[in-house]
Structures are given as structure tokens and as C-alpha cells.
Amino acid sequence: MIDSLLRSIAPYLAYVYMTLVGRTCRFRWEGMEHPEALRKRGVNFIYAFWHNRQLLFSYTHRDAGVSILVSRSRDGELIAKAMELSRIDAVRGSSSRGATAAARELLDLATSGKPVGITPDGPKGPAGVVKPGVLYLALKTGLPILPISNATSRKVVFQKSWDRFQMPLPFARCCIVHGAPIHVSREDDLGKKGAQLSAALDTITAEAERRVGNSAQPREAAR
């Protein structure tokens, strides 16, 4: 009963906490020319970001009209509720549960002009390894993938989680970095495109860390 109560209030606590974080932190945005150029051309895009960096985006992308892929697990249910409070839509599904329905919903949303987001190494890893889902979505829709990452100067890192999940702390310096769009065509080798996306995410993550005064950690250390 206590566990059920805690799980029911957890999304509200997360929302209040991230509101506190967002209102006390100093934000810096880099690479904004990439999404702005796409928007000026009327081109929609697919956000891609590492799983362990997602919490800060629940504040920075409130009311941004983005739909994010979230697993159908119990933890996914908590994340989806917290996102709902943050005015971010959740598309429920993963490679193991609800994959077909989620892919169809993401495809419909993306082609209708609504930005969607995927953690290409989620929901269970391996950390920093791009799975093919985001590449197939880009191929089917013809939309570019927009890499995005963030870093904070003050955070808690959950060392025992599979991706060393990061929780930002209040009164931190925060930086959000966009990378250049990545296009996927039928002529492309998806393995190479996955490696390109992985490298792009690692590069902008390192840049975000540098901007807030942290020394960037190699991706292998997070596995």
C-alpha cells in the first residue's frame, strides 16, 4: 500500500522538483541555428537524445508540443505521468512491448508536423548505443534527426543504473546543445548512420559538459 502511494505521488514530486531546478538554474543554449533553420523551411524533425540526459528536458521542453517515446513498463508509467504534468505528450511502447502501435503513432505524429523525440539507447541500453528505431522512423518519414544533449554543473549521478542516469540539482549552470541534422535515405547504410548519430550525440554532450565547466567523460565509462 505504501509502495502504491509513493508511486502515485512520485510524478507530482518530480514535476515540482524539476520546476524548482528550472527556476533556479542558469541556462545556455547552443546550436539553435539548426532547429531554427529547419523551422524556417517548414521542415519537421525527430529529436534524439541519450536516455540518461532526459530529465532536464522535462523542464526545458515544457509546452514545446513534443511527443516522446516512453516504454510500457511500470517506470515508464511514472515517466509518462510526469511528462503529462509538464505538458509533454508520451507515446507508449518499446522494442519488447507495443512496438508496432508506438511506431505507427510516431509516424502519424511526425508526418502531421509535430516534433517527436526518442532516446535511441533506451529504455534498457546498452548506454550510448543507437538502436535502429530512430533511423527507421527517419527513413519512413523522410525527416531529419536532430541530435540534442545537455549538461549541468551540479547533479546526482545514479552510478548503479544501466546508463548512470543524471538528476540535475538546483542552482546549477545548464547548457543545451543541438547538433546538425542527420538525414537518412534508402541508399544509406543504417549501421553507419547509427554510428554517425552516436558520434554526434557524444560530441554535443562533451560540448555541453565543457560549457558548464565539467570535464567530459568518455561514453565507455557510462556503460
Environment class of 220 (CB within 10 Å of its CB; exposed 0-12, middle 13-18, buried 19+)? exposed
- How many residues does the structure list for the chain? 223
pLDDT of residue 103: 87
Instruction: Please report, rounded to a whole number, the percentage of residues in the chain having pLDDT higher than 70.
Output: 93
pLDDT of residue 99: 72
Print the domain residue range for 104.
2-222
Please provide the average confidence, as pLDDT, over all residues in the chain.
92
CATH of the domain at 62: 3.40.1010.10
Is 50 exceeded by the pLDDT of residue 181? yes
Distance of alpha carbon 148 from alpha carbon 202, whole angstroms: 10
* C-alpha R_g of the chain: 17
Residue-wise pLDDT for 57-96, tens only, equals: 999 999 999 999 998 887 788 889 999 999 999 998 865 5
pLDDT of residue 218: 45
Distance of alpha carbon 118 from alpha carbon 110, whole angstroms: 12
For residue 18, how many other CB atoms are within 10 A of its CB?
23
Cell numbers of 137, please? 522512423
For the chain, what is the domain count?
1
Is 70 exceeded by the pLDDT of residue 216? no
Residue at 114: amino acid letter: K
Q: What pTM did the predictor assign?
A: 0.91
Please indicate whether residue 87 or residue 8 has the higher confidence score (pLDDT): 87
Residue-wise pLDDT for 120-155, tens only, equals: 998 889 999 999 999 999 999 999 999 999 999 999
pLDDT of residue 98: 62
Residue-wise pLDDT for 151-167, tens only, equals: 999 999 999 999 999 99
- Residue 222's pLDDT band, with cuts at 50, 70 and 90, is very low
